[in-house]
Structure 1
Amino acid sequence: MTDLARPLTLVSALAVTAVALTGCVAKTAVDPAASFTVDSGADACTVSSDSATSGTLSFDVTNSGDQITEFYLLASDGLRIVGEVENIAPAASRTLTVVAQPGDYFTVCKPGMIGEGVGRAAFTVTGDEVALEGPDAEQKQQAVDLYAAFVKDQVGQLVPAVEDLTSAYIAGDDEKARSLFPLTRAYYERIEPVAESLGDLDPRIDFREVDAVADGLDWTGFHRIEKDLWQPAKDALNADGETSAWADWAPSTPQERGEYADLLTADVQELYDYVHSEDFMSALNDQGIAGISNGAVALLDEVATGKITGEEDWWSGTDLYDFAANVEGSKMAFSLVSDFVTSKGDDGAALVEEISDGYAALEEALAVHGSLQDGFTPFPELSDTDRRDLVDLINALAEPLSQLTSTALS
C-alpha cells in the first residue's frame, strides 16, 4: 500500500530548511527593454519583439480572444517548456517572468488550452550566460537543490506505486486498483510541471481522453486505466441528457490491460530517469528561483483549470485527491522562494504573508471534504456552494501568487 505520510513529512522538512535560507536576492529586476507584450487572440499570438538579451524577461499576456488561453516559451526543440502562464480568461492579463539563457526559443499561445496552439514563432535570446553570483548565490543554489530533492523523492515513490497499481489492474483486482489510483496519482500531481516540460511525456502519462483526441494522440496513461476501473452503464447520459463518453465503449481485454500497464510503467520510468539526470539539474539551474516560483503558480493553475471543474478524473470522481496534491506541491515550491521575497522589504513580506494566508484558507476549506490519508468526498457529491467556495479561495490565492516570480527577481 502506498505510504503518503513520507511525502508530507518531506514537504514540512524542506519548508523548514527553506526558512533558514538568508541573504538578499541578486539584483535581477526586469529592465524595460526586457519587457514584452503578448496579444493572444483566436488565431494569432503576437509578441512585441522576437528577440531579447539574456537575463530576466517579462511577458505581459493579454487575452483578446473568447476562450481561456495559455502562453508558452518553448526551448529550441519546440517541446520542452521553459516558462508558461495558464488560465488567462478572455479580456484578462497575466505575466510570465523567466530567466532566459542565450539560445533559440519559440513563443506560442494555446486558445482553449488544447491542441498545438497558434502563432508559434521563433524567439532569440543573445548575450552572455546568466550565472548565480553575489552573496546570495549559495542560498539560491540551496533552494534549487532542495526542490530537486523533493522532485526526486516524489518520483522515486511514484515508480513502485505505479507498479502496485498496474499489477492490480492487470490481475483484474479492480477494487484494489481503484483504492490505489488516487493515492498513486498524488505523487505525480505534486511535481506535474516537471513532466509537462518534457514535450509529450505528460500527455502520455496524464492526458484525458478529450485532450488526446483533440491532439490526435493515442490515449494512454492514468486516465485510460481509470476508464477501465470505473465503468457505468453504456447507455449512461451526461448532465445535459446526451449520450455520454461511454457510447461505443468496449472494456480493455486482459491483453490490452497489460499493454496499457506496460506503457504507463515505461513512461514513469522515463520520468524517473530524467529527474536523476544531469539534464534535469541543468534545466533547474538555468531556471533558478524563477523556475521554482513559476512551478508554484503552474500547480495552482492545474487546480483552477481542471480539478475544480471535475473534468480531470471524469470517471472516478477522485479530483479532490489531485486538488490536494497540486496544492501541496505548489506550497512546497512557494516555501523555497518565500525568504527571497520577504527580503524585498515590507512589500515583499506583505506578499508572502498574503500568500501564506491564502494557502491556509484553501487547505482549511479542502480539509472539510477529507484528506489524502483518510480519503476525500467524491467530486460529484460536492454542492454548488462547496465548489463556489473553493473557486473563490483559489482565485484569492492566485492573484498574489502570480506576483511571486517578479517580486523574487526584483
Structure 2
Amino acid sequence: MDNSDLILVVDDTPANLAVLSEALNDAGFEVAIATDGELAISQAELSLPSLILLDIMMPGIDGFETCRRLKASEITQNIPIIFMTALSDSTDKIKGLNLGAVDYVTKPFEEAELIARVKTQLKLYHLTENLENQVAERTRKLEETLHQLQQSQVQLIQSEKMAALGQLVAGVAHEINNPVNFIHANLKYIEEYTQIFLDFLELYQKNYPNPVDEIQEQAEDIDLEFLQSDVTKMLASMKIGTERIKEIVFSLRNFSRMDEAEFKDVDIHEGIESTLLILQHRLKAQPQRPEIKIIREYGRLPSVECYSGQLNQVFMNILANAIEALEEANAKLTYQEIEDNLNQILIHTSVINEELVQIIIADNGCGIPEHIRQRVFDPFFTTKPVGKGTGMGLSISYQIVVEKHKGQLKCCSEVGGGTKFVIQIPIYQTKE
C-alpha cells in the first residue's frame, strides 16, 4: 500500500465528508471529495483515485447508478468502490456487489474498521494491479518471441530448427516461471493475512458471542460462516493452480533439452508423458468432438542412451500428426458417430531384444493412401494447405531416429485402418 494513495469520498452530507476526510488524512491518505454522483464520476476520471468511498443515498443519481457508470467506463472500471450506507436490506447490498463494489461500510461506522477495510482493499488492488502488469509484460514478450521464431523457422536448416525449438521452449518455461513464482510467493502472504483476519474475527466472536442485532443481521445477510470457510478453499485452489503451472513448466524444461550435446541415459516414458502434457489442450473434448483418449501400454523399459530433447521432438511430431489425422476424420462425421467410435491414440512400448526398444504410436483415424504413405518422410512433402505446414516434421523425425540414433522409423497405414508409426531405438549407442 502506498501512503500517497488518493481516496475519493462521495457524500452529500458535509459533516460526513469532514469526519471521513479527517480520518483518512490521519491515516496518511490523500483525500478528494464529491457531493453527488455526477461530480464523483468527473472527479474520478480526472484524478484516478486508488479507491472510492461512495454513499448510496444521494440527490440526483444515487450510489448504485454512480457505481454502474464508473464500472462501465474504461477509465474508472478497475477502481475499487466501497459503499457507505445506513441500509441493512441484503437485497440492496447484493445489488451493489453485483454492480462491482468490493465492500460495504454501514453507517454509523467505526473509524478503525473503516481504515482497516480501506487498507485491505488497497492492498488487494495494488497486488492485482502488479500481477496484471507482470503477466501482461511476460505475455507480450512471449508473443514477440513466438512471432520471431515463426518468421525464422522456414529459413533454418534442419539442425538449426531443432536448436531453435529447444531454446524457445526453454525460454517460454523460464518466462512463465518468473510470474508464476511471483504469484505463488504472494499467495503465501495473502493466505497469512486472510488467516489473521479470520483468527481476529473468531476471537471477536468468542469474546462477544451476543452481538447487537445489526451485526447479527449483517452476518446472516452476508452468510459469514460460508465466507469464512470458502475464502480458505479459494486460496487453496489458487495454490493448486500455480503448482500445476509449475509442473507444466517443469515438463517444458524436460521436453526442451535440445542443447545436450552428449547422449544420456533417459526414461523414454518420462519423455512421452512430458510431450502428452504439452499436447493436453488438443486432446481435451471440443464442442465438435469428445476427448481423444490416450491408451498407454507401457512395457518395462531400461534407460535408453539418446539425445532426449530430439527424441521428444519425434514424439511431438508423430503425436501431433495423429491428432490432426483424427480431427480430419472427424470433419466428415457427426458428433454421435464420433462417440460411437471414440478417437484414440495407442502408445505401446516394449523391449525387442538386449539391444533395441520399440515405441509404437497408432491412431484410429482415416488412414493414409499408399501413394502418400510412401512420401511421408520426404523433406517438404505435405498434404496441408499453403501456410499450414512446412512438410519437415516427419523428415526431421526420420533424421533424428535413423541418422542421429542409428534406429528405425516406419509408417504403416491403410485407408480406413488408421496409421501406426514404429520407432526402434538402440538401448546403447556405439561410439564411432
The TM-score range, normalised by the shorter chain, is under 0.3
Instruction: Please say which structure displays the higher CA radius of gyration.
Output: 2
Q: Which has the higher contact order (CA 8 A, sep 6+)?
A: 1
Normalised by the length of structure 1, the TM-score is 0.26
